[in-house]
Amino acid sequence: MVSACRRVGLPIESLAPRNAVPVNLAVHTLILVLLGLTSVISLTFIIERGWALRRSIILPQPLVDSLDHCHTRANVNTVLRFAEHHKETPLARLTTTAVEHLEWAKLDNVEALQSRARHEVSQMERGLVVLEIITGVAPLLGLVGTVVGLIEIFGTMADGATEASKFADGISTALWATLSGLSIAIPSLVAWSIYNKRVETFAIEMETQLDVFLRRQYPNENGN
């Protein structure tokens, strides 16, 4: 093909795809837009989950204290009033479920409570899967952006039109995509780890609180 071009007087450069640079530029721009969108989504979920997973939202201290002081069924109405006052919290909803089923056998009450607890835990975990996905996707997007940039740089070098300084500048620009991906992934990973551990801790604390509560309400069935 090269010899044929020479015979007919065509420049060898005509063999290179003329739309390669615009295509690479479009892909690189798309990657940067996706990285920007990913960073916004990550920041949104980090802030939202940080606000939603506060101790006062999950385990309101007045309700915890009322459970600690409820030793007999004579004090259940007090617990129920505190649960009603904090009805938007997971612990209050679980407490209400336990109180409403006190006339049931203990095992049946525990089963109903466990079913409700699984739902509450899933609600607390809402959004964490997004942070987990971003942790994996953001570096890959950055890597794709860098590879596209390098392809464009080496394509320009093939034409012999790239100086050393321009080549170094192009490499530096291409690597910014990888740095951007890592800058998004690292905070997402840290937030996911912290929030995941927080959900686990809250779940254990709620289980402990309600287990003690039920043991006191079923003094004759503590062997079950």
Helices H / strands E in the chain, number of each: 9, 0
- Round the average pLDDT of the chain to a whole number and report it: 85
pLDDT at 161 over 70: no
pLDDT at 119: 96
Q: Closest Cα to residue 135, out of 171, 101, 183?
A: 183
pLDDT tens digits along 167-223:
676 777 778 889 999 999 999 999 999 999 999 999 999 999 999 999 999 988 765
pLDDT at 4 over 90: no
Q: Closest Cα to residue 24, out of 145, 152, 150?
A: 152
- pTM, whole model, 2 decimals? 0.81
Mean pLDDT of 62-76: 93
Mean pLDDT of 93-99: 96
- What are the tokens at 98? 């336990």
Neighbouring residues of 205: CB distance < 8 A, sequence distance ≥ 6: 59
Q: Determine the residue type at 38.
A: T
pLDDT at 223: 55
Strands (E), the chain: none
Mean pLDDT of 67-90: 93
Highest averaged pLDDT of the listed ranges 22-26, 29-33, 207-211: 207-211
Neighbouring C-beta atoms of residue 211, cutoff 10 Å: 13
pLDDT at 149: 81
pLDDT tens digits along 111-145:
999 999 999 999 999 999 999 999 999 999 999 88
pLDDT at 6 over 70: no
pLDDT at 10 over 50: no
Higher pLDDT, 9 or 60: 60
Mean pLDDT of 15-20: 44
Residue 67 CA to residue 86 CA, distance in Å, equals 13
